[in-house]
Structure 1
Amino acid sequence: MTDAAIAAAVEAVRAADVVTVLTGAGMSAESGVPTFRDVATGVWAKYDPMTVATPEAWEADPALVWAWYQRRRALVQAVQPNAGHHALARWASRADVGVVTQNVDDLHERAGSSDVIHLHGSLFACRCDMCERPHSVAVIDPDGDRLTPPECECGGQVRPGVVWFGEELPHNAFAEATARATGCDVFVLVGTSGVVYPAAGLAHTARDAGATVIEINPQETELSEVCDITIRSTAATALPAIAGTASG
């Protein structure tokens, strides 16, 4: 992280009326939440995420999928929001800062952010696979590989409230995110690789609408060339440095 990049980011957000922040897997990874890539080589080494995170996987073996997501929920509940989550929440409490996330955890909300757009759904927003009725589900860490999903009153099964591979993003969520990208003065990318579309396209939308685009990521990404300011640091380090000095 360079002082010059932080100074440029602070100057940009101080001059902005509206800021939109898009967070990706790197944001939660600092709290100990594995990315899909980490999952494939760590706790979930014997599963290919593609075989437990698709509609076809749910059709073939809902008990396997349900157990996998229950473990993910238990893992998320065992970790805490990091300094980046808390910095964003404090910033949004005093300025027009909207949070759009590709993450399916609840760390932004637990840090105090009250208005978060979840592009890929949420681990904790389960629903019926037939009637779409929302369901509140107790989180447990299964002993085995399979766990029978709860039943809905309509006879369907309760499924995880996430967007699986092959499914469309929630229309309302993406429309709101697009509006935030179009209407902001500064668009901040935090911990996202920029390879997952249509979410990654929001940076282009913001840039085309005239926003200053800032990237916070230790590594160069597919979106780095779109950015006006790049900060080679992590969210937990860079966001407090920017948000703590941004005017409200």
Structure 2
Amino acid sequence: MLAELSPALIAEVQDAAKLLASSQRICVLTGAGISAESGIPTFRDKQTGLWENYHAEDLATPTAFARDPKLVWSWYQWRRELVADKTPNPAHVALAQWQQHIKANHQQLTLITQNVDDLHEQAGSTVSHLHGNLWRNRCSQCKAPYQSNPEGSSNSENDTDFTDTLITCQHCGGYIRPDIVWFGEALPVQAWQTAEDAAASCEVFISIGTSSLVYPAAGLAQLAKHNGAKIIEINPNPTPNTVVDTTLAEKAGVIMPALIQAINKL
């Protein structure tokens, strides 16, 4: 895998591997770029088909749902159907393998994602979601979790009915909505606390497939840097950011397997 990279990038991967192998606490933040490599459109990609006249930013809000719940619910059902057949790519698989390897070596790797898909879980990772989960629903009024098949698996794309019929809460009668963090809503308290704690205490912070400039998640890299961590960015289109110490400018699906290979050889 290393042989596929340029000599300069190989040297950077090997240096990063040495740093990671000698670190006890590592925090990894993933964003839309890693899912895009599995064929999932990023949130800011132009909508297609029936939705080409809508902007995602205009649909993913509490106000939009209150105004037209059927429209917003239909959009999310379309998104679910769009990603239902997508599978983890080599970056997801490498992260899952690394997380297990690190645990066996008594190191700690905290994986945080901004993505709402479950590709990390499919690959076998333990991950904390900052922006919610596309396959989960809750009441828009009382916030009670809603599961269409209570005895089914939590990986509920297998159970999803993609029809756009609105569902009501059995507790209060409110409309069921996706358990996603919309614009104007706070991040889930526990997930954000986990992310902050991991960023503040890590020795290395890795940003994969996400801009190091967009808040609040961008603040995690700054928090890590402030507390003495080294910052590694894996992104084919690096972001201009002074907090980054090492930039691995290639797709995550190329870099992560090569990085794990280099770590295992040490």
TM-score interval, smaller chain: over 0.9
Which amino acid counterpart does residue 123 of structure 2 have in structure 1? A
Q: 1:214 aligns with which of 225, 228, 232?
A: 232
> Which of 157, 161, 171 is the equivalent residue of 2:189?
171
Gaps of 5+ in 2: 103-107, 149-158
Q: Which residue of 121, 133, 136 maps to 1:125? A: 136
Q: Letter of the aligned partner of 2:48 in structure 1?
A: G
1:42 aligned residue (45, 48, 70):
48
Give the AA of the match of 2:32. Answer: A
Q: What does residue range 144-159 of structure 1 map to in structure 2 within 5 Å?
A: 147-153=164-170, 154-159=172-177
Structure 1 residue 41, shift from structure 2 partner:
4.5
CA distance, structure 2, for counterparts of residue 65 and residue 75 of structure 1? 15
Residue 160 of structure 1: SS of its match in structure 2?
strand
2:211 to 184, 187, 193: 193
Contact 2:134 2:178 in 1 (8 A): yes
The question of 1:3 aligning with 2:14 is answered no
Alignment partners' CA distance in 2, 1:246 and 1:42: 41
CA distance in 1, matches of 2:130, 2:261: 27
TM superposition shift of 1:42: 3.4
Distance 1:195 1:242 in 2: 24
In 2: Cα distance, 1:118 partner to 1:222 partner: 25
Q: Percent identity?
A: 46
SS of equivalent residue, structure 1 residue 245:
helix
Residue 233 in 1 paired to residue 250 in 2? yes
2:251 is aligned with 1:245? no
TM-score for the superposition, normalised by structure 2? 0.86
Residue number among 171, 180, 195 corresponding to 1:162 in the alignment: 180
- Which runs of 5 or more residues in structure 1 are unaligned? none
- Report the Cα distance in structure 2 between the residues aligned to 1:236 and 1:42, rounded to whole angstroms: 26
Residue in 2 that maps onto 1:102: 114
Contact 1:216-1:232 at 8 Å conserved across structures: yes
Tell me what 1:13 maps to: 20
Q: How does 1:44-123 map to 2 (within 5 A)?
A: 44-95=51-102, 96-113=108-125, 115-123=126-134
Q: Distance in 1 between matches of 2:27 and 2:48?
A: 33
Deviations 1:80-122 (A, max 9, x none): 1100000000000121221100001100000101x21101111
Structure 1 runs (4+) greater than 6 angstroms displaced = none
The alignment covers a number of residue pairs equal to 241
